[in-house]
Structure 1
Amino acid sequence: MTLFDLVSNPQSLISLYGDWPSFKGGRITSMELVEDGPTINIIVQLTRVPQNPPQRWKRNKFNAVSIEISFFGVESISMTDWSINNVIEKLLIQENADCRVPWKRIDCCTKEGVQFCFQCIDIRIKSIIPILIDQE
């Protein structure tokens, strides 16, 4: 199962990319724990250029996208380490449909050894922001 299968509002990313982009190789730049919900907000930079970017993005030559994903109703959080340059190596999403509340389990590890997992009730794309990454 992929993030696309469980996200409540995948349309914005699909309209930009023409399909659901892979998050493998994306860089986690921020992870915020919020009491309300409780919620985890994760920002991932994808360097795959969208297939259908808005004209303003083309004019400004943006070459990457910063996506903020919100996970609501979070519990059972486990995290090992935090680093710089957190490139996603594995992102596994599972749905537990056996109980009254359909939990989604998120397991992620990065090339740098950062690992985290948690359960949530809902997943939403919170924002999509174009960015320019210096490619020297």
Structure 2
Amino acid sequence: MNITRFMNPQALTAMYGDIPSFVGAEALSVVFSQDGPSVFVKFMMKGKPLKKPARWPSVFDVVYVEISFGAAEIVGFSKWGRSNVVSEILACLMGGRELVKFIFENECCLEFSYDWACVEGINYGLIGSP
């Protein structure tokens, strides 16, 4: 992922060696909050990280990552569907803020600018056979 304004990337970098790209991940939910205002995105990533936390079981096949984007200004959001798999992420710095555009395989598009990003949670899941 090209997002550079993470306040707390340590959990992601410890598990994946770097901030993962999120291309191929499915966005399960997008929540807009007036607090901040903020955008919360919950991703489901298939496969296992390079290094899982010790407390996680050995049997899991997805990782759920929740990210909040603070002081967000929405540019556009269209065509939300049932399967919102990320096909491309474009990001650039603009005037002290970051502009990010998520493009999904189903033609959905989410674009906004923000001041900071925060990893809100990382959890394992089992949706199929490992």
- After TM superposition, the score normalised by the length of structure 2 is 0.91
Query: Aligned partner of 1:119: which letter?
Result: S
Shift of 1:19: 2.6
Shift of 1:69: 0.5
* Higher helix content, 1 or 2: 1
The question of whether the paired residues in 1 share the 8 Å contact of 2:70 and 2:114 is answered with yes
- SS across alignment from 2:13: helix
- SS across alignment from 1:14: helix
Alignment partner, residue 91 of structure 2: 93
Provide structure 2 residue ranges, at least 5 long, that are not aligned to the other structure: none
Q: Distance in 1 between matches of 2:43 and 2:89?
A: 12
Matched length? 130
Alignment partner, residue 120 of structure 1: 114
- SS across alignment from 1:6: coil
Q: Percent identity?
A: 27
Alignment partner, residue 107 of structure 1: 101
- After TM superposition, the score normalised by the length of structure 1 is 0.88
Shift of 1:135: 4.3
Say which one has the larger Rg: 1
Query: Which whole-Å deviations, capped at 9, do the CAs of 1:45-88 have from their partners, x for residues lacking one?
Result: 111301211233234x1121100000000114311111011000
Provide structure 1 residue ranges, at least 5 long, that are not aligned to the other structure: none
Alignment partner, residue 24 of structure 1: 23
Q: 1:73 aligns with which of 67, 71, 74?
A: 71
Alignment partner, residue 45 of structure 1: 44
* 1:130 maps to 2:124: yes
Shift of 1:133: 1.9
Alignment partner, residue 9 of structure 1: 8
Query: Could you list the runs of 4 or more consecutive aligned residues of structure 1 that deviate by over 3 angstroms after TM superposition?
Result: none
Query: Which whole-Å deviations, capped at 9, do the CAs of 1:13-66 have from their partners, x for residues lacking one?
Result: 11112232221000000000001000000001111301211233234x112110
Shift of 1:10: 0.8
